[in-house]
Chain A
Amino acid sequence: MKILVAVDGSTYTKRMLAYLAAHDEWLGPAHQYTVVHGSVMVPARAKSYFDRETLKSYSESELEKVFKPIRNFFSRHGLAATFVGKAGPAADVIAAVAEQGKFDLLVMGSHGHGALANLAMGSVVTKVMASCTVPILVVR
Chain B
Amino acid sequence: MKILVPVDGSEPALEALRHVLGLLGGGLKASLVLATVQEPVYLYERLLPADAEVLERLTGAVGTRALAEAEALCKAAGVAYEREIVSGDAAQAVLNLAAACGCDAIVMGARGLGALKGALLGSVSQRVLQEAQVPVTVVKQRPSAALAAASAT
Contact = CB atoms under 8 A, between A and B. Distances in A.
Do the two shown chains form a genuine complex with each other?
yes
B78 interface: no
Nearest to A134: B140
B80 to A, nearest CB: 17
Given A25-B28, A120-B130, A136 B137 contact: yes
Nearest to A30: B27
B73 interface: no
B30 interface: yes
A135 B135 contact: no
Given A19-B135, A129-B121, A138-B129, A25 B27 contact: yes
A115 B103 CA distance: 32
Q: Main SS of chain A's interface residues? A: loop
Contact of A1 (B1, B23, B138, B139): B23
A137 to B, nearest CB: 4
Contacts of A25: 1, 23, 27-30
Contacts of A23: 1, 104
A23 B27 CA distance: 13
Among B16, B30, B136, B141, the most chain A Cβ lie within 10 Å of the Cβ of B136
Interface residues of B, number: 29
A104 interface: yes
A135 B19 contact: yes
B139 A129 contact: no
Contacts, number: 54
Contact of A130 (B19, B107, B120, B133): B120
Contact of A133 (B129, B135, B141): B141
A30 to B, nearest CB: 6
B49 interface: no
Nearest to B120: A130
A140 B135 contact: yes
A139 interface: yes
B135 A139 contact: yes
A55 B72 CA distance: 57
Interface centre among A120, A133, A135 (most CB of B within 10 A): A135
B110 interface: yes
A79 interface: no
B114 interface: no
Contacts of B136: 137-138
B138 A135 contact: yes
Interface in A84-140: 104-105, 120-121, 126, 129-130, 132-140
Nearest to A120: B130
A104 B142 CA distance: 11
Counting from the closest, the 7 A-B pairs by CB-CB distance are A135-B139, A137-B137, A120-B130, A139-B135, A25-B28, A133-B140, A130-B120
